[in-house]
Amino acid sequence: MLIIGAGGFSLESLEVYLANNNSKEDVIFFDNVSTILNPFISENFKIIRSFEEVKSSFDSFEFILGIGSPSAREKMFSYFHSELGGTPFNLISDNAHIGVLNNSIKSGVNIMTGTVITSNCRIGNGVLINLNVTIGHDTLIHDFVEICPGVNISGNCEIGKKAFIGTGAILLPSIKIGEGAVVAAGSIITKDVAPYTMVAGNPAVFKKQLN
């Protein structure tokens, strides 16, 4: 198993992977950008530092996206899957609860410890759902969304591609978050958020336009 990244979230991803009764003996990390690596990872695991070494090391492999940032996750998902031929792995904690009624989860998704997903939800490629998130019924989450710890998403919401939902934010029912939007930590979202805008506050208000 190749874990993309060698920082703090990669360590949390390793924790979930091992807690799900997988072996650490098959784990290798990849990080070609960080100058400071997580010391536990660097002391205990092999870290590949170039794409060329990945190409020469594997005939076939699975990979976990052990990084945050919607754009970085999209880039690494695309390159490792399309260019290097790796298979995206869904890292889903055994201590997450996913309802049995008509949920669907695509590829390269992280669902971390304590998360609850109820019924009839759609989770796109490369989505990161961090610790202790609650997602209500009939919610649609598009590709490469990042949802930070402690977020509460009510039913019938839609979150656009590469949106970022900050720690502890609350989305009221039937909210639509536009593509590339950023919801600041602790915000309470009472109305739709336009694409590529940042909102913050209680209730959340427009802060700035994003590129």
Q: Which tens digit of pLDDT belongs to each residue from 76-126?
A: 999 999 999 999 999 999 999 999 999 999 999 999 999 999 999 999 999
In the predicted structure, residue 36 carries a pLDDT above the cut 90 = no
In this structure, the answer to whether residues 173 and 115 fall within a common structural domain is yes
Domain count, the chain: 2
pLDDT at residue 30, rounded to an integer: 97
In the predicted structure, residue 39 carries a pLDDT above the cut 90 = yes
The catalytic residue positions are: 137
Can you tell me the mean pLDDT for 9-37?
94
In this structure, the answer to whether residues 103 and 129 fall within a common structural domain is yes
* The domain boundary residue, chosen from 68, 89, 110: 89
Q: Which CATH number fits the domain that encloses residue 63? A: 3.40.50
Residue 48 lies in a domain: yes
In the predicted structure, residue 1 carries a pLDDT above the cut 90 = yes
pLDDT at residue 59, rounded to an integer: 87
pLDDT at residue 5, rounded to an integer: 97
0.85 cut: is pTM over it? Answer: yes
| Burial (Cβ within 10 Å: 0-12, 13-18, ≥19) of residue 81 | middle
- Residue 211 banded pLDDT, cuts 50, 70, 90: confident
How many helices (H) and strands (E) in the chain?
Answer: 4, 24
